[in-house]
Amino acid sequence: MPLFSHHRSIGRALILAVALAAAGCSHDPKPQERVTGDGGSKLLHLSSKQVTVDLDDAQRAALTTMQDRRFATQDVPTVLTSCASALQGMDFQPVTTDREIMIVEGEQDKVVGTRWREAIRALLKARGVPLSGRPDHQSIKALVTVRTDQAGIMVRARFTLTVWDTNGDSRTETMIDQGLYDDFFSAVTAATTPQPR
């Protein structure tokens, strides 16, 4: 067998082995998880992987009980301003308000990993030591919608959390945290309540 053909056969066998190993390492996502960007496998990590977690029926029902509040007023500008102030008071930055479509949005970013530990991990990975991803930083996005009806103003809030790990992979899910929603609406109520003179 010519030397060139021999090397080509070895190359094909190697590619096939890597592909089979990668397929063996992969696993189906959980039913509520949508992989919106597949980075490969632990063996063959091609790029970052993005996962979005959808709510199940029980989680949607729980969210419904905490994300809506009604305010007995028709003063939309005040409610929008109060929602923006509430998010700013919760360390969301920037906060933007679209008064035409009555939406307030905010973002809160923070580092969740320890920098010196991550530096050591980066050095180990650079030397070829395989390491699983650890949470590195996160972003909470707030979406607040305001609508009016005959009974007043309905405010609906939704907080979404995205966590990135040290491999650049991310996981996004809707936050179902009664305390978080209560804190937001308490701040909105305080901002919309007239102060005694």
- Decide if 19 is inside a domain: no
For 190, the 3-state DSSP assignment is helix
Number of domains in the chain: 1
DSSP 94: S
- Three-state secondary structure string covering 117-160: HHHHHHHHHHCCCCCCCCEEEEEEEEEEEEEEECCEEEEEEEEE
Provide the pLDDT for residue 134. Answer: 77
Q: What is the C-alpha to C-alpha distance for residues 140 and 123, in angstroms, rounded to an integer?
A: 29
- Decide if 87 is inside a domain: yes
- Decide if 142 is inside a domain: yes
141, 118 contact by CB (below 8 A): no
- Decide if 97 is inside a domain: yes
Domain of residue 175: give its range: 29-192
Provide the pLDDT for residue 33. Answer: 84
Question: Across 5-14, 47-56, 162-171, 172-181, which has the greatest mean pLDDT?
Answer: 172-181
Backbone angles phi, psi at 44, to 5 degrees: -125, 80
pLDDT tens-digit map of 116-148: 455 555 555 555 555 566 778 999 999 999 999
- Decide if 54 is inside a domain: yes
- Decide if 11 is inside a domain: no
Provide the pLDDT for residue 46. Answer: 58
Cα distances (Å, whole numbers) of residue 55 to 1, 64, 160, 180? 59, 12, 12, 18
Q: What is the C-alpha to C-alpha distance for residues 5 and 11, in angstroms, rounded to an integer?
A: 10
Enumerate residues 6+ apart whose C-beta is below 8 A from 119. Answer: none
- Decide if 8 is inside a domain: no
For 2, the 3-state DSSP assignment is coil
Cα distances (Å, whole numbers) of residue 61 to 66, 162, 176? 9, 22, 10
Mean pLDDT of the region 79-96: 97
Helix (H) or strand (E) run with residue 66 in it: helix 57-66
Cis peptide, bond prior to residue 2, ω within 30 of zero: no
pTM over 0.75: no
pLDDT more than 70, % of the chain: 67
Region of 190 (left: φ > 0; alpha: ψ -120 to 50; beta: rest) is alpha
The whole-chain average pLDDT of the chain stands at 80
